[in-house]
Amino acid sequence: MLDFLAPSALLHRRYHTTPTHQSTESQPNPKAPKPKYFLSEKQKEFLDSALRVNQAGELAATLIYTAQTPQVVRSHPHLRPLMKHMYNQEEGHFKTFNQMIAKHRVRPTAMYPVWEAAATFLGWSTGVMGREAAMACTEAVETEIGSHYNEQVREILSWEADAQSRGEELDDELKEMLTTFRRIRDEELEHLDHAVENDSKEAQPYDPLVSVIRLGCRTAIKISERV
Ligand SMILES: [Fe+2]
Ligand SMILES: [Fe+2]
């Protein structure tokens, strides 16, 4: 549960009917801290699911690159720095979400071993198919993951707008989470660009390969949201 949001939020009731700090004059104090936005159970559930999916997705990303890299760089040594760069970023994302799920006591997905096997197989098989297929895999995965992070960013922004309309503000931890999601989304979209620059569109057969991987990602996201 995301009860980290509760303590500070609970201290600030949404409406202060009899504030003790307010002077008898009617002038509002612009420097007074705004009351914190109180998350509903539904919003907390959304964050639980989001962190669970993100952690599983980043685990999968590290395993895909681990299985792909040796095969890709064997025939295309010039791709070593790029593969390493993308792997390092995925490893960073995975660490970030490992810390977040531990801190907020979110249960990891029960599908963990299944996603481990599936991601390793996906990385290995696209690596065997060659550089273009490996890049098409990154293109497909990042298209889904990028839009998935975008949805999360949009959702939290809608809470921020709701908070502002009430004269409240988001908890600092939630603001930090928003910044993290945006940064990671941008890095995933950067991987997508690298994949296209490195001929992902030349993969054979491009359409079925990308469609299958994208469908697999969407299915894994849907399952991990709940299980
Ligand atoms: Fe990532
Ligand atoms: Fe990525």
pLDDT one-digit tens code per residue, 61-103: 999 999 999 999 999 999 999 999 999 999 999 999 999 999 9
pLDDT at residue 31, rounded to an integer: 75
If you measure from the C-alpha of residue 124 to the centroid of ligand 2, how many angstroms do you get, rounded to a whole number? 16
90 is in an annotated binding site: yes
Structural domains of the chain, with CATH: 47-226 (1.20.1260)
142 is in an annotated binding site: yes
188 is in an annotated binding site: yes
CA angle 198, 202, 204 (to 5 degrees): 130
- H helices of 76-111, in order, are 80-103
Which residues of the chain fall short of a pLDDT of 70? 1-28, 30
Q: Name the burial class of residue 117, with classes exposed (0-12), middle (13-18) and buried (19+) by CB atoms within 10 angstroms of its CB.
A: exposed
- Please state, as a whole number, how many other Cβ atoms lie within 10 Å of the Cβ of residue 64: 27
d(CA 28, CA 188) in angstroms, rounded, equals: 44
pLDDT at residue 2, rounded to an integer: 52
Neighbours of ion ligand 1 (CB under 5 A): 58, 61, 90, 93
Model pTM greater than 0.95? no
What is the DSSP secondary structure assignment for residue 82, as one 8-state letter? Answer: H
